[in-house]
Every structure is written in structure tokens, then in C-alpha cells.
Amino acid sequence: MIKLTNYLTHSYGKPDSWKLSAYEAAGGYRGVRKALGMSRDQVIDEMKKAHIRGRGGAGFDCGTKWSFMPKEVKKPHYLVVNADEGEPGTFKDRSIMELNPHSLVEGCIIGAYAIGAHAAYIYVRDELHLSKERLWAAIHEARAKGYLGKTPFGKDFEMQVYVHTGAGAYICGEETALLNSLEGRRGEPRLKPPFPAQYGAFGNPSTVNNVETIAIAPSVFEMGGDEFSKLSALHGLNDGGARIFGVSGHVKKPGLYEAAVGLTLRDLIYDLGGGILNDRPLLAVIPGGSSCPVHLADEVVSVPNDPRFEPYNGKSLLDLPLGVDTFRGAGSMLGTCCATVMSDATDPVLALHNVMRFYRHESCGQCTPCREGCGWIERILNKIVEGKGSIAELDQISEIASDITGNTICAFGDGAAQPALTFVRKFRKQLEDYVHTGGKSQTGRLTP
Amino acid sequence: MAFSGTFTFTGTFTFTGAGMSLDTPLCGSLRFAPQARPPGKFSRKFMQPELGSSRRDPSPETLMAFALNAEQELKLEDILSRYPNKMAACIPALHLCQEANENWVSEDIIAFVAKRLELSTAHVQGVVTFYTLFNQKKPGKHQVWVCHTLSCALRGAEDLVKHCEKRLGVHVGETTKDGRITLRTAECLAACGTAPVMQVDKRYHENLTTQEVDRILDRLIAG
């Protein structure tokens, strides 16, 4: 069921959509006025009612996360926005920062108010120069209008927003690595606990949220949490509202589409995405960034003994609504909701090789299983792609990947192991073909 | 039986290391000669061998102390005002200095940032070597990154990389002979919907074709 919305994307494609005048003309900065009229607890409750699941990949409920912050402000609190977008296949946050930066600034004020913070840092990856420029411009405009500063909207609640830059490290998208990087250290993840809500940025209580999670907050307060949550077909599963879906790879119309939660992969690929390039059959799809398991076109949902899955059992995975719990329950992961589509022209062995090269390059090197394991997997795949691998080495890939899972400080290790495990399981035949014949019967390319 | 033995130590400790002076301002003079290692199983030679190398060669530039001009100093003050402590300004300050120094971080910059932010040079060096976008050697005047991660690769990025290599006459990680263009590959530039993508200095170029890449490279070559 496709229900397109335009809470964040209404300004996309319009001239000067990143300016304050355009944002206000479209009804901007109304949500924050309502939020600042409430108490801190009321704001958190409203957010809980909206059932916004974190848009950065982990899918944690935003209102609940905010409620973890200490009620009494003894030390400075910080709101940190994670704009270190770099998950292969994910490209939604950049569009918000470039085309609708004021929604993020407005969301920062609401979020900071809810957690008792007076400063928000937006951690933008260094490559996104236009995003940084537009965000700074938006912050300066908001400051000049008095929306940021000593008394935003007449409320005695000092508020500042700053843009902080990384320097090219995917791992800084992990919240504790991001905090280390914000503090001016190497971006290596920290052990949890203590969680950021107790010991975050600069040793003070902090909340780290994704760009989209924060940017949608103003719409929640304008509509009301309940109303917003009910947009979603998965409202009953506490997965509410609308979000930005992306589709890339072998589709005719790759891009971003904002829609109510409840969209299926089939809707995303064949309807919004316009179908597969050259009308070829679908080989596989990765639902939300390369850290998610890969799925074949003919996979079916099978979750017996769970009443929530009754309507979907036996149906194609492509017809399962894209929700955090639906995908987790089906043994997958929703991630960032930006699907990567591969037609049957794709050589899955080369795709795996490409993905594992990424993880080897981006492993921060702190934990041995991940640092060495990602390198081993890539070297084995180098050999296999050259036709020099053996079946024993092929089996080693799964072994190494299983040894990484759960044995590292952060979730990067699991994210790196996931594609290795699922590709090897689902494309065993193709990998063996590479071992035996050097991949003669494979396409040998990734392009359509 | 109670233990009643005695131990006497009759050896002497003498430190006979070569006289390394500890007041050397930079770690440069303590550096060991880089060992040539054959590329193989244990080599951790990464994607960009030329720029990503962790040991920097001494060059005449490093002998000149680094300083920011008045306008850049103001920018640094502004950066410092955003954070509750000085350490947090480390990465933005390094970016500022790198831009002021033809896009690379010299030992002088490390010393300068360490002094200004009251950090150890080891800390700043650790930060510089961790992040991909701090160049430890001088790159070309223009830097070209071609994204080659999955979504771009599915749309032909690998062919574009080869095309760029041929067009510029360099391998990935190298700079053209005239010092104008450094070609590099990037891991996911977060523009998968408009793949293939490349970044030239601070600008993204999306939905690329080989013709489009040629036009961009021609402009860069012509200056």
C-alpha cells in the first residue's frame, strides 16, 4: 500500500527551499512553538505517542531514548545529531540537509528542549560540503531571527546549534565513535555501558539521534503524536509515521520517496522505483544499507507461532511491510530503509567482494576480530575472484564472519559479518563456480 | 621449613642506548627508516598507497614553521568558541590548517595544532593518521574521488575509475605528473540514488557518464 507523504520532502525541487522564508511560508517553525509551550515530560510523551523508530538503522524508539536522559540537569546535556551518513546504499540525510535544513534546526530545538540540553551538535561527514554550508546558513538565519539564542520564541531557554565535521571515517556513524570524534579524538567506539545518556559528549549526558529522526519531530508536534503515528500501516506494531524510503542500484527510477510506513519492497522496487532496468528479473535486494542481510527474489516469510506475522506467513518477503519489527522478526534487518537492488545481470560474488572491501577499509582497527577478520575475508575473496580460491577457504569465510559477530565493541563487526554470512549462504553455487571454473558461467560484472 | 634463603643481585644495569636527545621538538628525527616489505599476505598496504602512507618524508616545507593568517586565526577563534574544551576543536582546526597548507597536514601543522589546543603532538598525530581525509603528503591541486562502493559499482563506477586512470595516465592514489590532479577512490559518498558519483574538491558530480567525466576532467586539466 503506497501512501506518499511530503512532511520533509515538500520543499524538494523548489527554488531556495533551504531558506528561512521558504520554510516559514510552508508552515515551518510552528511545531517548535507548540513544543516549547509544553513541559519537558509532555514533549517526550508526545514523541513516544508518535512511535518514531530511529531512522539511522537501529530502529530504537525516539521518545523512549529521550526519556533516558536524567530528569535533573546537574551537568550540561547535549543533543548530538548523527549526520555521518555513509552506509552503502543510504542517501536520505544528505537531501534533508541540503534541501530542507531548517527542519533539522527546528527539530534540534525540540529535541534539545526535551532532553534539557542547551546545545546541539550536528556531526556532518566532511565530504558533504554543500550540506554543511546550507546548515550553517540556516543556523545563522535562525539566530538572526532570534529562533536560536537566549530566548527562542520568547521562552527562557538558551539554545545553540553547531555543525561539527568529521574527516572521512564510516565508523564515526556509530554513536560512541561519533562522540569520541566530536571530542577531538580518534573515532574509535567506546564500550557500553556507560551509555551516552549517562556519559556522552564531553563526559556529560547526551542523546545521539539520526538526522531524519530529528527533522521529522516538528511535523509530529504540528500534527500531534497520535495522529502522526496513525499514518503508518504498522501503527499497531509501534512503528509509526512516515519516513523517507530510498532505492538505488538496478532500478529505472532510483531516488528518494517519502511515504507512510507500511510500504513493501515490491512497492519500492516495481512501483516507485519503476521496475528493474532493462526489465530483467530481480536477483537480490538488500533492504537498508549493506549491513543488512541480502535477500533473494523468491524468499518467503516464515515465522510460525507469532500472531503478528499471520497475515504475511507464506507470502513473498517482497510483500512484507518495511517496518523495524516486521523485518527483525523475519530474520532480517530494516536498517535505513534504502534498498539496493540487483538484477540477474549482477555477479553476486563481485558484489560480495565489493561490500567486504568496504568493511575492510572502514574497520577502525580497535577490536582484533573485526580488524583482522575483515581483512582475511577480503583476501580470501580476492583469491576466489581471481579463480585461485579453494572450497576450504570458502568455508572459512562463514567461520571468520561468525567469529566476528558479537565479539566486538560496536555493531560494525556484526554489520560486516552479516553480508558475508548471508551472501555465502545464498550464493554458495556461484561462489563454488568461481572456485571450480573461475566463474565462467557467471556474468563477471555488476552493471546491468 | 621456613624459607630462609637470601637473594643477592650482583648484575648491573647500564643503559647503553645511542644518545637520543629527548628535547627533540618533533618526532621526525626519531623516525626509523621505513622498511620495504614485499606486498603479500601480511602487508596492510591500503587503497591509497601514496597518500595513505603513515610515515611522512621530511621535505623542505616542514622546516618552515606553520602559522595562520589573521583571517584564518579569526576562524580558529570562532571554532574554539563552539566547544566546552579545546580538544574538541582538533578536527575542525586540522581541516582549517590543511586548507591553508595546500591540502595536506605537515609535521609543522601537527605541532601548531597541538600547541594551540594544548594537546600532545602524539594525540594530534593519532587523529591525523586515523582519518582518511587528512593528507599526510601533498596531493595534487585538485582531488578527484570516484565512489566505487556497491550502489555506484552497480551503475558502472568501476568502469569510470578505469576510464579516469586511462584519461589521466595515473593509477588510483597517484597524482598526475604536472601535480594538478590526484585520483582517488571513495567508499560510499552517500549519493547512491544518483550513482555513479564523483567528488571533485568540494563538489559532487552525480549521474555520471564517461562523456560527463571527460568534460569535468578536461576542465580540471585546462585549469
Domain ranges of chain A: 20-230, 242-342, 348-437
**Neighbour tally for A340: CB within 10 Å:** 30
How big is chain A by its Cα radius of gyration, in Å? 22
Question: Are A288 and A333 contacting, i.e. CB atoms less than 8 angstroms apart?
Answer: yes
Q: Cis check for the bond before B196: say yes or no (omega within 30 of 0).
A: yes
Give me the residue from A166, A188, A362 closest to B91, CB to CB.
A166
Please answer yes or no on whether B149 and A91 come within 8 Å at the CB atom: no
Please answer yes or no on whether B192 and A246 come within 8 Å at the CB atom: yes
Residue position matching grid coordinates 511535523: A219
SS3 A115: helix
Please answer yes or no on whether B130 and A358 come within 8 Å at the CB atom: no
Please answer yes or no on whether A358 and B188 come within 8 Å at the CB atom: yes
CA distance A434 to A344: 17
CA distance A133 to B178: 31
Give the model confidence (pLDDT) of A189-198 as tens digits.
Answer: 999 999 999 9
- pLDDT at residue A305, as a whole number: 87
User: Which residues of chain A neighbour B199 with C-beta distances below 8 Å?
Assistant: 127
- pLDDT at residue B29, as a whole number: 40
What are the start-end ranges of the E strands in A273-325?
A: 282-286, 295-296
| Strands A282-286, A295-296: pairing kind | antiparallel
Residues with Cβ within 8 Å of residue A231, at least 6 apart in sequence: A3, A5, A240, A241, A242, A260, A261
Q: Quick one: CA dihedral A291, A244, A125, B171, positive or negative?
A: positive
CA distance A397 to A374: 10
Angle at A371 between CA A365 and CA A377, to 5 degrees: 155
A242-342: CATH topology is Ubiquitin-like (UB roll) (3.10.20)
Please answer yes or no on whether A355 and B150 come within 8 Å at the CB atom: yes
Minimal CA separation from A352 to chain B, in Å: 9
Q: Measuring CA to CA, how many Å separate A431 from each of A79, A283, A425, A426, B52?
A: 46, 15, 10, 10, 32
A253 touching chain B per CB within 8 A: no
Provide the residue-wise pLDDT of chain A in tens; the chain has 448 residues: 789 999 999 999 999 999 999 999 999 999 999 999 999 999 999 999 999 999 999 999 999 999 999 999 999 999 999 999 999 999 999 999 999 999 999 999 999 999 999 999 999 999 999 999 999 999 999 999 999 999 999 999 999 999 999 999 999 999 999 999 999 999 999 999 999 999 999 999 999 999 999 999 999 999 999 999 999 999 999 999 999 999 999 999 999 999 999 999 999 999 999 999 999 999 999 999 999 999 999 999 999 888 889 999 999 999 999 999 999 999 999 999 999 999 999 999 999 999 999 999 999 999 999 999 999 999 999 999 999 999 999 999 999 999 999 999 999 999 999 999 999 999 999 999 999 999 898 999 999 8
Minimal CA separation from B84 to chain A, in Å: 8
The C-alpha cell at A34 is 507548540
Question: Are A53 and A172 contacting, i.e. CB atoms less than 8 angstroms apart?
Answer: no
Minimal CA separation from A314 to chain B, in Å: 30
- pLDDT at residue A1, as a whole number: 75
12-71 in chain A: CB under 8 A from chain B: none
The C-alpha cell at A238 is 509501534
CA distance A339 to A239: 19
Minimal CA separation from A206 to chain B, in Å: 14
User: Which residues of chain A neighbour B150 with C-beta distances below 8 Å?
Assistant: 88-89, 249, 286, 290, 340, 351, 354-355, 358, 446
The C-alpha cell at A27 is 508552515
Return the residue in A98, A185, A350, A364 with the most chain B beta carbons within 10 A, the one to mutate for interface testing.
A185
Instruction: List residues bridging with A140 in a β-sheet.
Output: none
- pLDDT at residue A100, as a whole number: 96
330-389 in chain A: CB under 8 A from chain B: 338, 340, 342, 346, 350-351, 354-355, 358, 361-362, 364, 375, 379
Q: Which of B186, B184, B191, B151 has its CA nearest to residue A446? A: B151
User: Which residues of chain B neighbour A91 with C-beta distances below 8 Å?
Assistant: 190-194
Q: Quick one: CA dihedral B208, A254, A8, A132, positive or negative?
A: negative
Please answer yes or no on whether B92 and A379 come within 8 Å at the CB atom: no
SS (H, E, C) A163-229: EEECCCCHHHHCHHHHHHHHCCCCCCCCCCCCCCCCCCHHHCCEEEEEHHHHHHHHHHHHHCHHHHH
Does the domain at residues A348-437 carry the CATH identifier 1.20.1440.230?
yes
The residue extents of the domains of chain B are 49-130, 142-222
Give me the residue from A76, A170, A248 closest to B195, CB to CB.
A248
Provide the residue-wise pLDDT of chain B in tens; the chain has 223 residues: 444 444 444 444 444 344 343 333 344 444 444 455 544 444 444 444 445 444 554 454 445 589 999 999 999 999 999 999 999 999 999 999 999 999 999 999 999 999 999 999 999 999 999 999 999 999 999 999 999 999 999 999 999 999 999 999 999 999 999 999 999 999 999 999 999 999 999 999 999 999 999 999 999 998 7
A87 touching chain B per CB within 8 A: yes
Residues with Cβ within 8 Å of residue B49, at least 6 apart in sequence: B173
Please answer yes or no on whether A361 and B46 come within 8 Å at the CB atom: yes
Please answer yes or no on whether A170 and B89 come within 8 Å at the CB atom: no
Minimal CA separation from B155 to chain A, in Å: 5
- pLDDT at residue B9, as a whole number: 46
Does the domain at residues A20-230 carry the CATH identifier 2.60.40.420?
no
154-213 in chain A: CB under 8 A from chain B: 162, 164-170, 181-188, 202
Please answer yes or no on whether B91 and A181 come within 8 Å at the CB atom: yes
Give the model confidence (pLDDT) of A379-404 as tens digits.
Answer: 999 999 999 999 999 999 999 999 99
Residues with Cβ within 8 Å of residue A180, at least 6 apart in sequence: A186, A187, A188, A189, A190
Q: Which of A196, A108, A205, A187 has its CA nearest to residue A152? A: A108
Please answer yes or no on whether A246 and B193 come within 8 Å at the CB atom: yes
Please answer yes or no on whether A91 and B190 come within 8 Å at the CB atom: yes
Domain B142-222: homologous superfamily in CATH? Glutaredoxin (3.40.30.10)
Q: Measuring CA to CA, how many Å separate A20 from each of A25, A29, A214, B145?
A: 8, 10, 18, 33
